[in-house]
Amino acid sequence: MAKMRKKADLPEKTCVHCGRPFTWRKKWARDWHQVKYCSKACRSAHKTSETS
């Protein structure tokens, strides 16, 4: 069984839209370098603010 990591030990980024820090998630393992937003809400809000 794999050893568990503490959440504080995981990599962290800052959301492009809201500026909040967010930590690595397993579902982002393959494309962590491309992740820019902390949530779907921030992604969609940022896209609508760009087109306006």
Name the average pLDDT for the chain: 89
pLDDT in tens, 1-52: 667 878 788 899 999 999 999 999 999 999 999 999 999 999 999 888 777 6
pTM of the model: 0.75
Q: What is the DSSP string of 1-52?
A: -PPPPPGGGS-EEE-TTT--EEE--GGGSTTGGG---SSHHHHHHHHHHHH-
| pLDDT score of 1 | 67
